[in-house]
Chains A and B, each alone.
Chain A
Amino acid sequence: MMVKVKRRVMHAAFATVLGLSLVLTACSGGKPLNEVSKETTPRNQESADAGNQLEPVELTWYYPQWSIQPDTQKVQDAINKITTKKINATIRLMPTDGGSYEQKLNTMVAANEKFDIAWTSFWMFNYAQNARRGAFVEIGPMLEKNAPELKKTFPDLVWEALKVDGKIYSILNYQTITNKEGFLIQKRFADKYGLNPGTIKTIKDIEPFLTKIKENEPDIIPFGMTRGGNFENMKTTFNNIEYISNEAIVGIYRGDSETKVMDVIQSPEYKEYLNLMNGWYQKGLINKDAPTVKALDDRKKAGQLAVTFHNVLKPGREAEEKNASGGQDIITVPTSEPYVGTNTIIQSMQAISQTSENSERALMFLNLLNSDKELLNLVCYGIEGEHYTRISENTIKPLENSKYNPNITWVFGNGFLADLQEGQSQEVRDQTLKENSEAQSSPILGFTFDPEPVQTEIANIQAVNDEYGPSLNTGAAKNLDQKLAEYIEKRKKAGVEKIVAEVQKQLDAWKRQTGK
């Protein structure tokens, strides 16, 4: 018995040692992961390459991606052929899963890790906050020299919006910069119950239509809503409100020349919205589980949502929504004019890290990426013939089961430069550009609130919002007035006035500075 056990243990120990040594040898090859196939380009006289006068460098580029692309390495090699030739730099793509991007990048910034370019925005890996923390290089002064094309590409208001405390720290991935709020309605129901889109001017006007669906379509949710509610998406429709701090829910009326900051939860508009939603919920026009549900994508795919509300009715929205709704045709009914605010612009940018040793070259790469169509297409869609086919001069179609189709052009660069995908049209693009240039600009464009002095209060307010928000915003709360009063009271206790005062102070200072 003893001998047997002993032998077994000896075996186990041996196996352990063996296993360890195996792994050791497997890993000790020490093959650097960034082995880039060095292309030795023959220097012919015809192409006087700008790249040759520069030292060769390698740039790392972190960006979020929501699905794994097996051919990333291949695409990277192809990209490097172009970049080596033009700016003598090789790019190392570092796609990071979207769900963990923010956490990862925050840690990297805190640890002072060396990297060159990182994707940033106002809603993930916060741009203004990190710029103030000193994570990014100021690129305003470098634009003239290293990115002349870029400087001309965007309208002035974009550069204005990219400023944090008056300095530019990033390059915009140019796309739709406007918001326009409105309803998304399934066409089959609109036709069946004779909805006339022209009659819908405010949120209230849709109610008769919802009631009809409720009465006649037992399997269909008349108005689909998640626990976030819809006030944030409807704020322009409800009297041109603009949020300054999404976390604390404070903002201004765009039309207010005084730009007086207020607590949005105490505004009459919010009350009006609550009353309306409460009525809808009681009548069964909203899905019962709205206060708890986080996403409706599965029901949307099943075509069960008759009407939803969205705050970005950009041109071409219908086609995109059709895909998401299981092939049901969707019509859009806008309830507001297109408008531009800081946050409608700074949705997707590239910034250069403070730890980068080649910030000038990184900017040159970004400039190239946003002006060289071939390069941008490569990054967005992969290699022609291998990952996509060209159906017309500037329209492409991703191949079935392609090994590189991230489908996130908006993360990479100028969305108006890259090729169109099948189903998108040039008209839509022109329409978007037109709206971009005509939209009403916010009176406080370029102002970003610095939450640092009131961090504690904001955290407290967020806790209160989480407690009361879902049941109120979805109309599920039973005794509305009492609940709202409690909510306002608790927000006051948590220090909402202090936040309002702080925002006002910063806004006034900013106005004096910019003379707006």
Chain B
Amino acid sequence: MAISLSDEGNVVKYGYRFIPKKFSFEGYEAIFKNPGILINAYSVTILITIVGTAAGLLFTAMIAYVMSRKDYRYRRTTTLYVVFTMLFSGGLVPFYILVVKYLHLKDTLWVLIIPYLVNPFYVMIMKGFLDQMPSEIIESAKIDGAGEYRSFFAIVLPLSVPALATVGLFISFVYWNDWWLGLLFIDTDKLVPLQLLLYRTMNTIEFYAANSQHLSGNVDVTKFPSLTARMALAVLGAGPMLFVFPFFQRYFVKGLTVGSLKE
């Protein structure tokens, strides 16, 4: 943060300081000179975060709810199935083949959302919370004439707001911070999420530094963003999340007890 507000020459001369020696908004100016790409990336990221979190939360809660119902016969099997995916994965190449060849998701917005919809670990957290919910509540709802869906949406979900908030925050972090899916599956510049933009900026510099002795020196170093611009980008990338985080803080204590109580 401090660096992003400093004057370039001073950073180079005096190193990093907590309080900038000389304030300057040059870093930000450099970025906002070409705002199109940045705004575009921002909107992509915000969109996938919102849609992904909402949908992910719904699916996670549904699966967890089913798994937590004591009167569900295949409870164990389902749980095992979920845990199994947590421990074993197919590996990158099969995953890639599945997404590109069978689901045809390459270069779509969906590819940034679908793979992260249900994370088994979050399902387990959610299940841990829902396990503590007395089954009598649901039974009484049934007697009052509520169907399965109604009892889930009208009773179970409102009662599990702390857990939903916690898991929702986790899921939104995953979406917000993801650049990996974009790297693999996105070719069009219109669909590049913010973090990938950031990752590229940083990576290009790293990469050039590592390979400069192999290159015939055809890469023009002046094209790279300056240090302060890089830091400004980093601030812009992480900023909103830092802002959101404290608001969810209060749910944490409640939400994070993963099955610490015995039934």
> Are A295 and B211 within 8 A (Cβ)?
no
- Is B218 a contact partner of A408 (Cβ separation < 8 A)? yes
B216 within 8 A of A: yes
B216: A residues at CB distance < 8 A: 175-176, 179, 312, 314, 344, 347, 410
**A100, B203: Cβ atoms closer than 8 Å:** yes
Q: Does B54 count as interface, using CB distance less than 8 angstroms? A: yes
CA separation between A113 and B58, bound complex, in Å?
Answer: 34
A309 CB to nearest chain B CB (Å): 10
Question: What residues of B have a CB within 8 angstroms of the CB of A33 in the complex?
Answer: 107, 187-188
Closest Cβ–Cβ distance, residue A76 to chain B (whole Å) = 12
Q: Which of A284-326 contact B (CB under 8 A)?
A: 294-295, 297-302, 304, 310-312, 314, 317, 320, 323-324
Set of chain B residues within 8 Å of A302, measured between Cβ atoms:
8-9, 12-13
Is residue B260 contacting chain A, with contact meaning CB distance below 8 A? Answer: no
Contact with A along B186-214 (1 / 0, CB 8 A): 01110010000001101111111111111
A62 to B158, CA, bound (A): 50
Residue of B nearest to A6 (CB): B154
From residue B47, how far is it (CB to closest CB) to chain A in Å? 8
A324 touches B222 (CB 8 A): yes
Bound-state CA distance A295–B207 (Å) is 9
A66 at the interface (CB under 8 A from B): yes
Shortest Cβ distance from A24 into B: residue: B110
Instruction: State whether the Cβ of A35 lies closer than 8 Å to any Cβ in chain B.
Output: no
A16 at the interface (CB under 8 A from B): yes
Q: Which residues of B contact A96 (CB under 8 A)?
A: 187
Chain B CB within 8 A of A428 CB: no
Binary interface encoding of chain A residues 11-30 relative to chain B, with 1 for a CB under 8 A from any of its CBs, else 0: 01101100110010011000
The answer to whether A111 and B55 touch across the interface, beta carbons within 8 angstroms, is no
A10 at the interface (CB under 8 A from B): yes
B225 to chain A, nearest CB (A): 10
Say which size band chain A's interface belongs to: 35 or more
Interface flags for B216-240 (1: CB within 8 Å of A; 0: not) read: 1111111110110000000000000
**How far is A24 from B47 in the complex, measured between Cα atoms in Å?**
13
Contact between chains at B109 and A23 (CB < 8 Å): yes
Known contacts A9-B157, A97-B200: does B8 contact A298 (CB below 8 Å)? Answer: yes
- B54, B184, B212, B220: the one contacting A104 at CB < 8 Å is B184
CB distance from B58 to the nearest CB of A (A): 6
A347 to B206, CA, bound (A): 19
Among B91-99, B133-141, B245-253, the one that faces the other chain is B91-99
Is B100 an interface position by the 8 A CB rule?
Answer: yes
B219 touches A103 (CB 8 A): no
B58 contact from A16, A67, A294, Cβ within 8 A: A16
Chain B min CB distance to A419 (Å):
16
Contact A122 B214 (CB under 8 A): yes
Q: B interface, how many residues as a size bin? A: 35 or more
- When the two chains form their complex, are residues B12 and A298 in contact, meaning their CB atoms are under 8 A apart? yes
CB of A343 closer than 8 Å to a CB of B: yes
Chain B neighbourhood of A391, CB < 8 A = none
Could you say which of A5, A175, A232, A301 has the most chain B C-beta atoms within 10 Å of its C-beta? A301
Q: Does A68 contact B (CB under 8 A)?
A: yes
Expressed in whole angstroms, the minimum distance between the Cβ of A372 and any Cβ of chain B is: 22
Q: Indicate if the CB atoms of B204 and A232 lie closer than 8 Å.
A: no
Is there an interface contact between B93 and A111, defined as CB atoms closer than 8 Å? Answer: yes
Chain A 62-76 interface 0/1 with B at a Cβ cutoff of 8 Å (1 = within): 000011101010000
A94 at the B interface (CB under 8 A): yes
B35 CB to closest chain A CB (Å) equals 12
What residue in chain B is nearest A102 (Cβ atoms)?
B207
A233 within 8 A of B: yes
User: Which residues of B sit under 8 angstroms from A16, Cβ to Cβ?
Assistant: 54-55, 58
User: Which listed residue (A15, A67, A323, A347) contacts B215, Cβ 8 A?
Assistant: A347
Pick the contact of B101: A94, A111, A299, A407 (CB < 8 A).
A111
Shortest beta-carbon distance, A244 to chain B, in Å?
Answer: 14
- Given contacts A23-B109, A111-B96, A301-B222, are A68 and B189 in contact (CB under 8 A)? yes
Q: Are A233 and B200 in contact (CB under 8 A)?
A: no
Asked if A311 and B188 make an inter-chain contact with CB atoms under 8 angstroms apart, the answer reads no
Across the interface, which residues of B come within 8 angstroms of A311, CB to CB? 213
Give A228 to B214 CA distance when docked, in angstroms: 12
Interface residue B183 (Cβ < 8 Å from any Cβ of A):
yes
Is B85 an interface residue, CB under 8 A from the partner?
A: no
Q: Cβ of B55: which chain A residues have Cβ within 8 Å of it?
A: 16, 20
How many angstroms between the C-alpha atoms of A111 and B13 in the bound complex? 48
A502 and B258 CA atoms in complex are apart in Å by: 54
Which of chain B's residues has its CB closest to A108's CB? B96
Segment 252-285 of A: residues with Cβ below 8 Å from B: none
A124 at the interface (CB under 8 A from B): yes
From residue 58 to 112 of chain B, which have CB atoms closer than 8 A to chain A?
Answer: 58, 92-93, 96-97, 100-101, 107-110
The answer to whether B30 has its CB under 8 Å from any CB of chain A is: no
- In angstroms, Cα B213 to Cα A226, docked, is 11
Which residues of chain A have C-beta atoms less than 8 A from B206's C-beta?
A: 99, 294-295
* Interface residues, chain A, with chain B CB atoms under 8 Å away: 2, 5-6, 9-10, 12-13, 15-16, 19-20, 23, 26-27, 33, 66-68, 70, 72, 94, 96-100, 103-104, 107, 110-113, 122-124, 175-176, 179, 219, 226, 228, 232-233, 246, 294-295, 297-302, 304, 310-312, 314, 317, 320, 323-324, 343-344, 347, 407-410
The 9 closest A-B pairs by CB, nearest first: A99-B203, A295-B209, A123-B214, A294-B209, A16-B54, A324-B221, A410-B218, A5-B158, A100-B183
Knowing that A294-B209, A301-B226, A317-B217 touch, tell me 20 more A-B residue pairs with CB under 8 angstroms.
A5-B161, A9-B153, A10-B153, A12-B54, A23-B47, A68-B189, A96-B187, A98-B207, A100-B199, A100-B200, A110-B96, A226-B209, A294-B206, A295-B206, A297-B205, A297-B209, A302-B8, A312-B215, A320-B217, A324-B222
- Can you sample 24 A-B contacts with CB below 8 Å? A2-B158, A9-B154, A9-B157, A19-B50, A19-B51, A19-B54, A20-B51, A96-B187, A99-B203, A103-B184, A107-B96, A107-B184, A111-B96, A113-B101, A175-B216, A232-B213, A294-B206, A297-B209, A298-B11, A301-B221, A302-B13, A304-B12, A314-B217, A407-B220
What residues of chain B have their CB less than 8 Å away from a CB belonging to chain A?
Answer: 8-9, 11-13, 36-37, 47, 50-51, 54-55, 58, 92-93, 96-97, 100-101, 107-110, 153-154, 157-158, 161, 183-184, 187-189, 192, 199-200, 202-224, 226-227
